[in-house]
Structure 1
Amino acid sequence: MTTHTTAPDTPRTPTTGAPSGLVGIPPRIGRALAVGGAVLTIASTFLAWTWTAAFPGDLTVYGYPGGLQVLVLIGGALTALLGLASYGVTGLRRLAPAGADAAVKLAALATFATAWYTVIAISTELGGIVNLEPGAFIVAVSSLAALLGALSLPFERPEPDPIDPDDTSWEHFKHRASHQWDTFKAAFASGAPRALGKLPSHIEILIIVGILALGLLVFTYGIGTEYDELFIGFLITAGLGFAALGKSGLISQASQLTARHQTITVFGAFIAAALFPFTQTDDQYATLGVYILIFATVALGLNIVVGLAGLLDLGYVAFLGVGAYASALVSGSPSSPFDVHFPFWAAVLIGAAASLVFGVLIGAPTLRLRGDYLAIVTLGFGEIFRITANNLDGISGPDLTNGSNGISSIPNLKILGFDFGAQHDIGGFTIGRFANYFLLMLIITAVVVLVFRRSGDSRIGRAWVAIREDETAALAMGINGFRVKLIAFAVGASLAGLAGTVQAHVTYTVTPEQYLFAGAIPPNSAFLLAAVVLGGMGTIGGPLIGAALLFLIPNKLQFLGDYQLFAFGVALILLMRFRPEGLIPNRRRQLEFHEEAEAPTVLSKTGA
């Protein structure tokens, strides 16, 4: 008797035995309902949803979507395209190389959630459903219909009938060949995984340019949301839309393209980032941009310690503080006890060197510890740094840091006569103070990325990975674990100090309260570690994306008041539940978390 292991039982339609979705609608009808509902949702965005402009975004205009209507329009278009791809429409099958059914569910959910959130917000803020126009009722019904249709689609393709692997008879051969042919036809019709195939290099580079342009557009739109309702809708659409693209296989294909042209991708990404200040009319959102880059650069330095070497450092923000204080003390500030004003290049070297020295001093006696013990020691170092900086006020200790008042009135940078605190006209665009610092911080980020990439590919980088995977085995192979870990600690600390030198000049003031273990607004050690883990440990893009999200979202959610951290915590829990490997994981961690899903079906033979 032959037995086999299969996936958990899924609902099946009574007529064909094929898997069905959560609702009792036949998949063929559900697919049509999803596409039709999405098309009707798109049409509804060109109608008025309310009669008054009191609701932000002016949703009273016919023929021109605005505000949250634009997000619903994008969600509806994505649902319709993926739905047509699930039909196998020529030219659209490439939109879902890994299958469209799961992607349609997420896209329809994004559209439904954004549409109903908008309808409920209008009714709540304006005082009832009487404030809704016909367009709002249409979008509510059509988005619900699209979601119900999407939920009727099967969760997985049918499993083949069990076949005895030891049976070599002619009937077995015909059975297996028939199943392979049926599987091929079903895969082609339903959008099963298909390889993209290598396109001409210039086509692939154009695709990468399009991906980078789309990323810049999404980031600019998200950071520039003008009111709270629009940002919440953006989070819903972007989050579920990204998940839908991941399920469809487009994210995987984009990763393959960027991996084949890694140098061009990195260079293009920094060009796209450099264009960000030119998309802004003032410094309002460039301010967030420069702080995001500071946070992201420090997170990338921490990624060397945590992501490559596997050392849990809970006091890493202290190295940022060391670099900031060292730079502030030689910046010419009137609050500094040293009457000196070093040029920027010298301040950068002093900040990075001071952090490196502290990294070695802290790492040398503690890096023989492992796991939780090392985490506790580094947490203690972070607190000791903050308390020490608070006490060096001339009363409790030497007058060095001015205590809780910190080093204030730090002057703006001037490099080769270029004043970073003044506005400048470049190519017809007016670049303000924070935009100047954004471009400077982008150069420093590029240096940190180069250091991370080169060190990760080097012999010492491979030693870090070996220590992270199994320190005992690495020591048995002749790797000097203590020396390797100390180098990781020193390099990570110096990169944090490098970012701290710019932070000191951007914020004008350096105080101990800026370098807590945890707080409502980053950077702090808890948020830095979360950025590395959520973004993707051991990767370049992961901490950059994670830091951008973890800095932007708390700033945009300040309207929630006391519930801000609660909502943010729930979002982090959900993200770690459904994507524990991070937003941009490396292949090893992805296999660790999803090895069961990627494992082949196991056949076993037992006697009856």
Structure 2
Amino acid sequence: MSTETPVVVDQEQPKTPLLERFPGRGSAVAWPLTLAGIVVTVAGCFLSWSYSSDVLGDLSINFYPGGVQNCMILLALVTLVFLLAHRGPLTRLGSWVDTAAAVRVLGLGALGYMTLALVLIAVQAGGLININPGGWVSWLGSLAMAAGGLMLVSEPHKDPLFAKTSSWVEISTIIVMMALVLFGAAYALGIADGGSFVLFLVLLAAVAFALAKSGVFTWIGIIAQKNRQVLMLGAFVVAFLFPFTQGGSDENMSIATQVLIFAATALGLNIVVGLAGLLDLGYIAFLGAGAYVGASLSTSTFAQIGWKPPFIVVVVVGALFSATLGLIIGSPTLRVSGDYLAIVTLAFGEIFRLTMGNLDGNNGPDLTNGPNGIPAIPDLKLGSFDFGQPHVVLGITLGRFANYYFLLLVLAAVIITIFSRLNNSRIGRGWVAIREDEKAAEAMGVNVFGLKLFAFAGGAFLAGMAGTVKAHHDVSVSPDQYVFLESAFLLAAIVLGGMGTVAGVLVGATILKLLPEKLRFVADYRLLIFGLLLVLMMRFRPEGLVASQRRKLEFHEEDEGLAERIEEVHLEEQGATA
């Protein structure tokens, strides 16, 4: 009788995450330690942080917190809410979200915030000796918050996907969110100091990451889908009210108008790249084509075309001219794809820039005034309304850039409507099919070439519309405004925000236009910082900051649980509708 020796198979044990190996994890002192850290941090914010009064605003006054200190207090209070939801009077909220994960993120965010604040004070004031005791008190408090949060253990909770809330709660949540966006944007633009702005970004990142880790964003995404019309109306109202929060500041409104121009142009590129999957590296040429049409048909003394139609006609002509360029370039080049298409479109962008520089009467027809461009473009006038003159509304002075802001807001609304309709149509589904697998889409009967050409021309049409307004907003048009780097930034806005989504493009455009304006104190390193951010995004969130569920599943195919949960919610909603 033979006996077989059992074979022992070494099974790889799952690795324990680093945060779960933190000493004292699950200890009874975790909750009181975090609470004590919050109290100490807030108490330190009411004390002076710096001897110098010109560092990070003014942090040298006792019992009168500055802007940086108020942000730290806000971060501590948000941590307190999640801590009380973990164990305390708000445990009903904690039964739906991962409160321990949120406290961990917020605690680490608070520690990072305070560490960065002390470093900035030391650098700007001339050494650590210039940090007052209040700064060290708040730093020790944030250290206790981080340690206590790392010691907390996540408890079982219900899935936010299945949370049932009344309509008034959902609508109230959307209203509160929109109000926070409005006042947060106004506050961010009002921050003059670069270091204070960076600290504000740390605060936003910590809160956003905590909401994502806890599952709150999952619930917010669900109610946003259920109340899409309310959300869109709220977003438009917030955008409309924004100029009234700036107190007539032309500087801030100039940034806001640049963001809208950039976002409107990026939405057109989002059709080409985000939906159809066509890598276009020369898209800035279509914006330039619209701008040159707007400048050439204006009443500028340097414009060489004698026809001066109304501006509404100029917008249509500029958009059609850009779309025609898209058809001319796309017809022969869309037969190729991938890297070859990227090279061809990059060449087209450079050809456009050089052509506009050569149409000076010497190397070609005298149409664009060559490298000097078309300057002295007058402000728009629609009827009796002069966009160059300030207007007083409700006692608030709205300057030149505020006037263009409202015009661009209407234009952006039109572009968003067009994009959304196309995205949800049969054409949009055809674009997505082409992006996923061109050969499979063609085998299923999709007119691949026709839809690709339509995407190219449609995206160019939207860029041309934005370009006609940009010409009057910028007062001049020249070839050096439309270089390859601008196309790269447009593409980066889509990738950063989320390909194929409206909100993602708006977020990406805002980040890429706002950060360079506020980070001028590191002007030599802005591109380096931007590159590092993109590398981190591609590593940890390749689908973008605001991604659709489809894109999430494309980049995280292994997350079968996410797919199953989404399917269950859809089935449940269909059953409720039936």
User: Given that residues 99 and 192 in structure 1 are in contact (C-alpha distance below 8 angstroms), is that contact kept between their aligned partners in structure 2?
Assistant: no
TM-score of the superposition, structure 2-length normalised?
A: 0.92
Query: Are 1:197 and 2:163 matched, yes or no?
Result: yes
Alignment-derived partner of residue 164 in structure 1? none
Question: Residues 62-102 of structure 1: CA distance to partner in whole angstroms, max 9, x if unpaired?
Answer: 33321211221122122222223233x34355368341222
CA, structure 1 residues 397+201, in 2 after alignment: closer, same or farther (shift >3 Å)? same
* Counterpart-to-counterpart distance in 2, 1:218 and 1:7: 46
Taking only aligned residues, the RMSD between alpha carbons, in angstroms, comes to 2.2
Residue type at the aligned position of 2:50: T
Q: What's the offset of the Cα at 1:23?
A: 3.7
User: Given that residues 50 and 60 in structure 2 are in contact (C-alpha distance below 8 angstroms), is that contact kept between their aligned partners in structure 1?
Assistant: yes
* Counterpart-to-counterpart distance in 2, 1:503 and 1:419: 16
Aligned length: 555
Q: What's the offset of the Cα at 1:4?
A: 12
Alignment-derived partner of residue 353 in structure 1? 320
Which consecutive unaligned segments of at least 5 residues does structure 2 have? 1-5, 563-578
Alignment-derived partner of residue 358 in structure 2? 391
TM-score of the superposition, structure 1-length normalised?
A: 0.87
SS for the counterpart of 1:595 is coil
* Counterpart-to-counterpart distance in 2, 1:575 and 1:239: 13
Residue type at the aligned position of 2:400: R
Alignment-derived partner of residue 299 in structure 1? 266
Q: What's the offset of the Cα at 1:319?
A: 0.4
Question: Residues 486-521 of structure 1: CA distance to partner in whole angstroms, max 9, x if unpaired?
Answer: 111111100000100110000001111111111xxx
Alignment-derived partner of residue 35 in structure 2? 35
Alignment-derived partner of residue 47 in structure 2? 47
Which consecutive unaligned segments of at least 5 residues does structure 1 have? 13-18, 158-185, 519-523, 601-608
What pairs with 1:571-590 in structure 2 (closer than 5 Å)?
571-590=533-552
CA, structure 1 residues 62+424, in 2 after alignment: closer, same or farther (shift >3 Å)? same
Query: Are 1:263 and 2:229 matched, yes or no?
Result: yes
CA, structure 1 residues 275+527, in 2 after alignment: closer, same or farther (shift >3 Å)? same
Alignment-derived partner of residue 332 in structure 1? 299
Question: Residues 283-342 of structure 1: CA distance to partner in whole angstroms, max 9, x if unpaired?
Answer: 110000000000011111111111111111111111000000011100111111113322
SS for the counterpart of 2:556 is helix
Query: Are 1:451 and 2:418 matched, yes or no?
Result: yes
Residue type at the aligned position of 2:415: V
CA, structure 1 residues 370+192, in 2 after alignment: closer, same or farther (shift >3 Å)? same
SS for the counterpart of 1:275 is helix
Alignment-derived partner of residue 318 in structure 1? 285
Alignment-derived partner of residue 82 in structure 1? 82
* Counterpart-to-counterpart distance in 2, 1:514 and 1:52: 42
Alignment-derived partner of residue 120 in structure 1? 119
User: Given that residues 50 and 131 in structure 2 are in contact (C-alpha distance below 8 angstroms), is that contact kept between their aligned partners in structure 1?
Assistant: yes
Residue type at the aligned position of 1:41: T
SS for the counterpart of 1:584 is coil
Query: Are 1:217 and 2:183 matched, yes or no?
Result: yes
Q: What's the offset of the Cα at 1:558?
A: 1.8
Q: What's the offset of the Cα at 1:32?
A: 3.0
Q: What's the offset of the Cα at 1:435?
A: 0.4
SS for the counterpart of 1:311 is coil
User: Given that residues 39 and 80 in structure 1 are in contact (C-alpha distance below 8 angstroms), is that contact kept between their aligned partners in structure 2?
Assistant: no
Residue 250 of structure 2, aligned match among 259, 274, 283:
283
User: Given that residues 379 and 386 in structure 2 are in contact (C-alpha distance below 8 angstroms), is that contact kept between their aligned partners in structure 1?
Assistant: yes
SS for the counterpart of 1:596 is coil
Alignment-derived partner of residue 133 in structure 1? 132
* Counterpart-to-counterpart distance in 2, 1:7 and 1:486: 52
User: Given that residues 96 and 248 in structure 1 are in contact (C-alpha distance below 8 angstroms), is that contact kept between their aligned partners in structure 2?
Assistant: no
Residue type at the aligned position of 1:535: G
Query: Are 1:460 and 2:427 matched, yes or no?
Result: yes
User: Given that residues 306 and 537 in structure 1 are in contact (C-alpha distance below 8 angstroms), is that contact kept between their aligned partners in structure 2?
Assistant: yes
Q: What's the offset of the Cα at 1:7?
A: 8.0
Alignment-derived partner of residue 10 in structure 1? 16
Deviates more, 1:103-112 or 1:468-477: 103-112
User: Given that residues 160 and 216 in structure 2 are in contact (C-alpha distance below 8 angstroms), is that contact kept between their aligned partners in structure 1?
Assistant: no
* Counterpart-to-counterpart distance in 2, 1:331 and 1:11: 63
User: Given that residues 386 and 515 in structure 1 are in contact (C-alpha distance below 8 angstroms), is that contact kept between their aligned partners in structure 2?
Assistant: yes
Deviates more, 1:213-222 or 1:121-130: 121-130
User: Given that residues 326 and 460 in structure 2 are in contact (C-alpha distance below 8 angstroms), is that contact kept between their aligned partners in structure 1?
Assistant: yes
User: Given that residues 163 and 219 in structure 2 are in contact (C-alpha distance below 8 angstroms), is that contact kept between their aligned partners in structure 1?
Assistant: no
Query: Are 1:101 and 2:100 matched, yes or no?
Result: yes
Q: What's the offset of the Cα at 1:153?
A: 3.6
User: Given that residues 39 and 77 in structure 1 are in contact (C-alpha distance below 8 angstroms), is that contact kept between their aligned partners in structure 2?
Assistant: no
Question: Residues 235-294 of structure 1: CA distance to partner in whole angstroms, max 9, x if unpaired?
Answer: 111122211111111112111111101112112101100111000122110000000000
CA, structure 1 residues 552+95, in 2 after alignment: closer, same or farther (shift >3 Å)? farther
* Counterpart-to-counterpart distance in 2, 1:489 and 1:314: 12
Q: What's the offset of the Cα at 1:5?
A: 8.8
Q: What's the offset of the Cα at 1:581?
A: 1.0
* Counterpart-to-counterpart distance in 1, 2:36 and 2:557: 37
User: Given that residues 554 and 568 in structure 1 are in contact (C-alpha distance below 8 angstroms), is that contact kept between their aligned partners in structure 2?
Assistant: no
Residue type at the aligned position of 2:176: G
User: Given that residues 86 and 94 in structure 2 are in contact (C-alpha distance below 8 angstroms), is that contact kept between their aligned partners in structure 1?
Assistant: no
Alignment-derived partner of residue 536 in structure 1? 498
Query: Are 1:147 and 2:178 matched, yes or no?
Result: no
Residue type at the aligned position of 1:526: A
Residue type at the aligned position of 2:65: P
CA, structure 1 residues 194+532, in 2 after alignment: closer, same or farther (shift >3 Å)? closer
SS for the counterpart of 1:430 is strand
Alignment-derived partner of residue 575 in structure 2? none
Residue 390 of structure 2, aligned match among 387, 407, 423:
423
CA, structure 1 residues 96+512, in 2 after alignment: closer, same or farther (shift >3 Å)? farther
* Counterpart-to-counterpart distance in 1, 2:84 and 2:558: 30
User: Given that residues 86 and 93 in structure 1 are in contact (C-alpha distance below 8 angstroms), is that contact kept between their aligned partners in structure 2?
Assistant: no
Higher helix share: 2
Residue type at the aligned position of 2:259: I
* Counterpart-to-counterpart distance in 1, 2:11 and 2:384: 71
SS for the counterpart of 2:61 is coil
